[in-house]
């Protein structure tokens, strides 16, 4: 299986396209190498070629707004994790949900669509997933609810 070659070894914290099938771009929480190993070990064989072909480090400069939205989302996530599930104050959960909604809305906007088209030509991304609606095995994949 061919994986797009990188000149450096991308590590956690760097941005990459299609780390997951239902997310356009995100910061790596593990190294790119670890994600590739996960795909090869745990994803169905019929999905691996596409996943590996599309997984790549972002080379263009990402919009400042996306970086700010990501920071807000991460801060809201950290705030909610200070509490157990049963004890989380509703206002912190609302802040997290609002931050996630703003982040996801920006990802679907024209600026990100244009950047993605530049870096990922011939990509099957449909705004929700890299797989066709029925998925490669014929059964629907779970959809991210924005």
| Among the listed residues 6, 21, 15, the one whose alpha carbon sits nearest the alpha carbon of residue 123 | 21
Cβ of 35: how many Cβ atoms within 10 Å?
20
| Among the listed residues 56, 62, 43, the one whose alpha carbon sits nearest the alpha carbon of residue 111 | 62
Tell me: the pLDDT tens digits for 8-44? Answer: 567 888 999 999 999 999 999 999 999 999 999 999 9
Residue 5 — very low, low, confident or very high, per pLDDT cuts 50/70/90? very low
pLDDT value at residue 9: 66
Residue 139 — very low, low, confident or very high, per pLDDT cuts 50/70/90? very low
| Span 82-94, average pLDDT | 92
This prediction's pTM? 0.79
| Span 81-96, average pLDDT | 93
Cα angle 114-117-120, degrees, rounded to a multiple of 5: 145
Q: What average pLDDT does the structure give for the chain?
A: 86
- Percent of the residues in the chain that have a pLDDT greater than 70, as a whole number: 84
């Amino acid at each position: 299986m061919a994986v797009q070659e990188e000149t450096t070894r991308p590590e956690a914290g760097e941005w990459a396209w299609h780390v997951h099938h239902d997310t356009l771009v995100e910061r790596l929480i593990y190294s790119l190498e670890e994600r590739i190993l996960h795909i090869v070990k745990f994803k169905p064989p019929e999905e691996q070629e596409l996943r590996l072909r599309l997984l790549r480090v972002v080379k263009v400069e990402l919009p400042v707004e996306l970086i700010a939205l990501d920071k807000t989302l991460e801060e809201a996530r950290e705030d909610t994790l200070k509490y157990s599930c049963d004890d989380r104050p509703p206002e912190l959960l609302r802040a997290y949900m609002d931050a996630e909604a703003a982040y996801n809305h920006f990802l679907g906007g024209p600026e990100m669509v244009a950047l993605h088209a530049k870096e990922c030509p011939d990509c099957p991304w449909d705004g929700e997933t890299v797989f066709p609606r029925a998925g490669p095995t014929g059964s629907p994949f779970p959809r991210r609810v924005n």
